[in-house]
A = this chain, B = another copy of it.
Amino acid sequence: MEKLSTQPYKGTRDFYPREMVLRNWFFGKIRKTLEDAAFDEYAGPMLESLELYAAKSGEEIANEQTYHFTDRGDRHLAIRPEMTPTVARMVSNKIGELNFPLKWFSMPNCYRYERPQRGRLREFWQVNVDIFGCDTYEADLEAITSAIRILRAFGADETMFRVHINNRRFFNDVIATIAGEGEERARKVSKIVDKKNKIPRENYEKEMGELGITAEQIAKIDSLYGMSVADACALCPESRGAQELASLFDMLTKMGLDRYCTFDFGIVRGLDYYTGTVFEVFDLAPENNRAMFGGGRYDNLVGLFVKNQISGVGYGLGDVTLENFLTIHHLIPDLYTGGTKVLVTVFDDVPYEHTACLVESLRDAGIASTLYIGKKKFGKQLDWGVKQGFSHVVIIGGSEYEAGEAKVKNLISREEQSVKIDELIAFFA
């Protein structure tokens, strides 16, 4: 019979124990950071009705980007490409019982049908952090603060990342001030600004010109990029967006978080979905200087499901992106060694139950430990333990057994000593 391929499906990953230690460290730190900031974790099913994504992003995008299929009950299902529709559904489903404002997070695996490339895989995990049910800047501040805390928890500092912040309401108002009224026009300008750095300057000017923006107005808009928040906000002081931006930066400064943050008029986030504060977190490493993740405020989270209006602010952070960032900045420690992990070797001339019971008592005391499983010579057992990253080997041969002792070998320092069997737990504890 022909043998099957041993490769994982394109764009997905196998996590062998070494990679899994990294994942658990990674998600453990994020969970602890968010729990310390009193965010509550939630989770939802990996399959949802396809219409959830079609209603949010349009039928075409939903069909193209998701894995979808029809079940035998003729339900059209999708493997989630993102978490927002699920959380919107969940919030809608218990809208009368939930204790708003909600500070929620989740760490789902998601699937997107795309060509695998650096930073993008078909299966990825995405940390989702959101605050629902508070529409003032304090929630924006808390969301941004939590993103900074996550990166700081990994040891990142202000030389490594920067949060670029803008406000969509401010953007619309300042464009109106400079180039005349019109929400639809501001929206079109935002699309051009969004791609400014990706297109030649002359195309940028041409597209702006097509919207009736004069060269003088373009120059004014250009000047916003280098401006301080205060100067920018002074251009339209009555704007709610300007006030939100000013309050947010005032507080970031007073909290000493301004060293991680910068005002950036170029951040608009493509999606029309965003309505207020928007932000993107940039990697400052020269070789990876780009937006890693971002988020912002949206005003109509639950509109697809219920009549209520609930606004939210949040962001999504992918595992592949974060791992790249940590790797580039050398923020991943040696996770495989460290901590006590004890291998007890076995010998034919010592009753198996003697060593087996010893291991059980070590485990009862919370000391990670195992017998060598199987019948191999001592050298092979020791090799196995070294390769597995054990910190200690406990050797109880015939003579140690007779004496009620064990030889304990530290595999890192290579020291060896004799310890009484009934003192072993205390030795390792």
Interface set of A (CB-CB < 8 Å, partner B): 3-10, 12-17, 20-21, 23-24, 31, 35-38, 40-49, 51-52, 55, 67-69, 71-73, 75, 77, 79, 89-90, 92-94, 99, 101, 103-104, 109, 111, 113, 123, 131, 133-134, 136, 138-139, 141-142, 145, 149, 251, 254-256, 304-307, 341, 343, 351-353, 356-357, 360, 363, 366-371, 373-375, 384, 387-388, 390
Contact = CB atoms under 8 A, between A and B. Distances in A.
Given A17-B41, A46-B109, A363-B149, A139 B373 contact: yes
Given A46-B111, A47-B79, 11 more contacts: A3-B304, A14-B44, A17-B104, A36-B367, A38-B369, A46-B123, A68-B69, A71-B113, A138-B373, A254-B353, A255-B360
A283 to B, nearest CB: 24
Which residue, A9, A90, A111, has most C-beta atoms of chain B within 10 A?
A9
B255 A356 contact: yes
A398 B49 CA distance: 51
A99 B388 contact: yes
9 contacts: A5-B305, A6-B90, A9-B47, A15-B42, A36-B369, A46-B46, A139-B374, A254-B357, A256-B357
Q: How many copies, total?
A: 2
Given A138-B352, A353-B251, A363-B36, A45 B388 contact: no
B138 A45 contact: no
B37 A370 contact: yes
Contacts of A51: 4
Contact of A20 (B43, B149, B251): B43
B370 A38 contact: yes
A142 B359 CA distance: 11
A257 to B, nearest CB: 8
A123 B360 CA distance: 34
A72 B139 CA distance: 42
Contacts of A104: 17
A7 B49 CA distance: 10
Contacts of A94: 16
Contacts of A341: 38
Q: Which 7 pairs of residues, A with B, have the shortest CB-CB distance?
A: A12-B45, A38-B370, A17-B40, A6-B93, A69-B69, A254-B353, A134-B374
B79 A79 contact: yes
Contacts of A46: 12, 46, 79, 109, 111, 123
Nearest to A47: B9
A368 B306 contact: no
Nearest to A384: B99
B45 A123 contact: yes
A242 B73 CA distance: 49
A30 to B, nearest CB: 13
Contact of A92 (B6, B23, B52, B369): B6
Contacts of A373: 101, 103, 131, 134, 138-139, 142
Given A23-B43, A136-B375, A49 B5 contact: yes
A256 B357 CA distance: 9
Given A14-B45, A41-B24, A304-B3, A9 B370 contact: no
A167 to B, nearest CB: 18
Contacts of A374: 101, 133-134, 136, 138-139
A123 B45 CA distance: 7
Contacts of A43: 14-15, 20, 23
Contacts of A21: 41
A41 B368 CA distance: 14
Given A9-B45, A373-B138, A145 B101 contact: no
A24 B21 CA distance: 17
Nearest to A100: B384
A390 to B, nearest CB: 8
